[in-house]
A and B are shown apart, each in its own frame.
Chain A
Amino acid sequence: MTDVKTPPAEPEAAAQPPTKPIAWPLGLAGVVLAVVGSFLSWSYDDRILGDLSLNFYPGGLQILAIIVAVLALILLLAERGPLTRLGSWLDATLGLRVLGAGLVLYMALVLVAISTDSNGLINVNPGGYVCLVGAVLLAVSAWMLPLRQLRDMSEAKLPGWAEILAIAVLMAAVLFVAAYALGLQDAWSFVLCLIFIAVVAVALFRTGTLTWIGHVSQRHRKVLTLAAFVVAFLFPFTQNGSDANMSIANQVLIFGATAMGLNIVVGLAGLLDLGYIAFLGAGAYTAAVLSNSAFATVGWKPPFLVVMLVGSAVAATFGLIIGTPTLRVSGDYLAIVTLGFGEIFRFSMGNLDGNNGPNLTNGPNGIPGIPDLELFGFNFGDEHTVAGIDLGRFSNYYFLLLVLIGFVILVFARLNDSRIGRGWVAIREDEKAAEAMGVNVFGLKLLAFAIGAFLAGLAGTIKAHQDAAVSPDQYQFIESAFLLAAIVLGGMGTIAGVLLGATILKLLPEKLRFFSEYRLLMFGLLLVLMMRFRPEGLVASRRRQLEFHEEDEQLAVAVEEERLVVEEAK
């Protein structure tokens, strides 16, 4: 133990190294090189990565590089130059480091992509190397630039119209990027585009822009919600009748709506439900059995609105049946019991084929051929043309699902802010204390279960018609695990986080087909790593974050301050 020594106290000068005069011009040179390189040809082969072979006519991936370079230029100018007033708010250096390192990674992967798609590095044209050198210069200069003291972001206020404009611009950018990324066909382009998005997002985060957006959206919550829905509504119009992406989008929406329902059970009430997919299945099977399919086993054919109610009521009843006895046991046991219930559901749906029980579900084959929905004389199978843009079958369902997810989010948000929601949070955090404070623990838990099941059943009724078939193996345990993973990945108890998690988990496997073999492997690894390193999820609610990092005093203070800010805003 004699050779354990405490590190000497660092002198103040070492923490802030002297500014290297070369850093700033070097960064500028890097930006110029990156832009110039992007205007030159990157690849000899014009068939790969959406044609990067022309000089002075940048292709999509080159434009992304230019965007990164321009962002870096803005930050450089904020560091020293005409935008220094901005520089006192934004942490330009950290942002530049992210952009520099990200651009290096991006360019390196571009070169790898070119050399794997067409044989070898020989197919890389000088533009690619110029851009890479520029990126390296930018990264080097960013690491030499000094870190600075910043002003508190919560004091940064613009006129109201400017803040609303900022939200609008952000949302438009989101729509544009989503449409662009989904339009990419080959996997490499998609991966590169994802890296671009990640780099820009991290840069926004590190400069503090996201914090500012957070403050702005606190002040203009309604505008933000409205803008988000407008963007979602406009999405089909960017696809120009293409069914492939709309079908993915529909899956994301169904998955997101179901995950949001589960979020009530897990995120708010803290009840771990591992058989949640059974409630979606209950809704879907109800809708299928009551549909006009040739394999439907029940004679009653009510209109769809009734089916929706029946389906969700059936699911909610299942929720009550499974909840009443089992909610008395806590934590891990509940997880296992719900898992058992999910398996019972799947086995039963597979068995009720007339041989082993009454014929209700047509056994392992499921019920195929479910016709399209017909609502108020509007058939969801028809194509429409609105403003010259074709909207196919999937687009029709998309709008319906949008309404559904809007409803689910509304229910979630209102419950979260209500007396019931506060009761749930109290139960989640300390059940005994909540009971002592007069919270009706059992009733509220049961309510959470029933509402969650109801919402899943609702989503299930639409899913049955959207998929046009139901079968037992759509409702395996792994699907429940995926739902849970979406919540864990995004951030329990949050709206944005769960939507983000659902999007990531559904979108990536669809777009990265070459990756699908390793999808589950990565999924398992992801769950383990998330729990180890960021158990509160990507978009963490601060309160939840505090639960996972109890000893973090600074965070506790921050959460308290944030609560004050929110109250002020109200």
Chain B
Amino acid sequence: MDQFFQQLVNGLTLGSLYALIAVGYTVVYGIVQLINFAHGEVFMIGAFGALTTYLLFFDGKTSVWILPVMIVGAMIASVGTAVLMERVAYRPLRNAPRLAPLITAIGISVFLQEFIRLFYERPGWVVAVFAGLAIALGYFVGSTRTDAHLNHPVSRWYDRAPLLGGAGGAVALWAVLRLSTKDLNVGLIAAAIVGGAIVGTGIGLLAGLAARRQARVRISLQATAASAATAAVASEVGWVIFKELITKPEHNGQPFEWPSAKQRIPFPQLDVVTGKAITIGNVTIQRSAIFTVAALVMCAILLWFFINRTRLGRGMQAVSQDPDTARLMGINVDRIIVVAFALGAVLAAIAGVSQGLQNNNIDFRMGFLAGLKAFTAAVLGGIGNVYGAVVGGLVLGVVEAMATQYIPGQFGGSTWKDVWAFIILILVLVFRPQGLLGARVVDRA
């Protein structure tokens, strides 16, 4: 009997992890009928986000109060990834044949894995990201200062040329300056900001002149200047962050080096949530397991509250029932879709942290199998049904654990547990495609 309870605990722990990830699949599927294959990678990036936060701010410390900050860092990383991939890759394909987004998802998944593997130890790319963010911010501030309607469907890139030119010019000057001298001193920072604002405004004006024949709108000098100035300030702030924080000159007297993601990276161990296991009778419970299950319970409650008691959550329900009608009722469907991706990413980030705490290490490959299992869990519970994902995750985890323990003979060991999980997936799809809770009937024909 002890064995049974031990496996039950193991299964529930594993299942909580699956459930946290599975919610991401099911929320997105419920709203856009898209299997976001790259969701496993969002989970992986969450774990790396937490690790990065730890290394940046708390390296070497073990206090439990670090954990919330790490979770926030994980959420920023994974929500950023998820929202960006929705905007860049999925949104343009929203009306494409269904094969297209699926293949895109595979592409994103491979890309994100490789990106972490190759570039985690070389954070120089962060500078390029900051530059891109600076341009985006400059454009955004500029566009609020102009009364031209830039998001109108007929507007093209050349309508935006002055703003983009302004922001781009400022960032270009900053890039030239920072490629020649990398030091931080007040004079240089001021030069980069003032020079960027002036040069950017000039380039923006030139771009506006070049595009004036096609452009449908006129953008004022003031807006262009605002765009350039914002971009100049933002890029310089990005540089300061990069120099001061990310390439820390030294750490505990030694030059700081980022760990390489090509092998497993040890995950920080914190005071209360990791350490000596708790034993009840003959059943051992890891502290991280308690954290995972508690996180799932809390997330499930918050999720229930969010979906049923907030405006956005009700909007999500409406869109999942009928997107066109929801749009007619004044719901911003695009925003709801972004929220769905972000919601999934938040839970995936928490799952990433729990996975790190449980396994003591993380690696760039961990998203693939976990994502696949979580998808199995989502299908098991009934895809499109949020509570189904939670139930499905727990059931899958318990079944996997029990299979390791109770399937007799050579096919029982832990090496076969993944096989059993996939066999369950196939069996569910064949015999009960609507899943255990079955809100949404799978398109069978």
Contacts and interface: CB of A to CB of B under 8 A. Distances in A.
Contacts of A526: 107
Nearest to B109: A524
Interface stretch (A52-60, A227-235, A324-332): A324-332
B212 to A, nearest CB: 11
Question: What interface size band does chain A fall in?
Answer: 35 or more
A344 B422 contact: yes
Interface string B369-407: 100100110010000000000000000000000000000
Contacts of B423: 344
Contact of B376 (A1, A340, A357): A340
Nearest to B417: A347
Interface of B: 34-35, 89, 92-93, 96-104, 106-115, 118, 148-149, 152, 154, 213-214, 216-218, 368-369, 372, 375-376, 379, 410-411, 413, 415-416, 418-419, 422-423, 425-426, 429-430, 433, 442-445
A348 B433 contact: no
27 contacts: A3-B148, A3-B218, A4-B152, A4-B217, A266-B99, A272-B99, A328-B430, A328-B444, A329-B429, A333-B379, A336-B372, A337-B425, A343-B422, A344-B419, A357-B411, A358-B410, A432-B445, A435-B445, A477-B368, A481-B110, A524-B114, A528-B107, A531-B104, A532-B89, A532-B92, A532-B104, A547-B97
Contacts of A4: 148-149, 152, 154, 216-217
Contact of A343 (B92, B148, B216, B372): B372
Given A340-B372, A341-B426, A332 B35 contact: yes
A184 interface: no
Contacts of A521: 110-111, 114-115, 118
Nearest to A335: B102
A274 B102 CA distance: 11
Contacts of B110: 478, 481, 520-521, 523-524, 527
Contacts of B217: 3-4
The 5 residue pairs across chains A and B that have the minimum distance between CB atoms: A527-B107, A524-B111, A524-B110, A340-B422, A521-B114
Nearest to B93: A531
B114 to A, nearest CB: 4
B32 to A, nearest CB: 12
Contacts of B442: 329, 333
A548 interface: yes
A388 interface: no
A525 B113 CA distance: 12
A484 interface: yes
Contacts of A520: 110, 113-114
B104 A527 contact: yes
A241 B100 CA distance: 43
Given A326-B429, A339-B372, A5 B35 contact: no
B409 to A, nearest CB: 9
Contacts of B112: 524
A459 to B, nearest CB: 22
Contacts of A525: 107, 111
Given A4-B217, A524-B109, A548-B97, A333 B429 contact: yes
Interface string A354-393: 0111100000000000000000000000000000000000
A431 interface: yes
Interface in A502-548: 517-518, 520-521, 523-528, 531-532, 535, 547-548
A1 B217 CA distance: 9
Contacts of B379: 333, 336
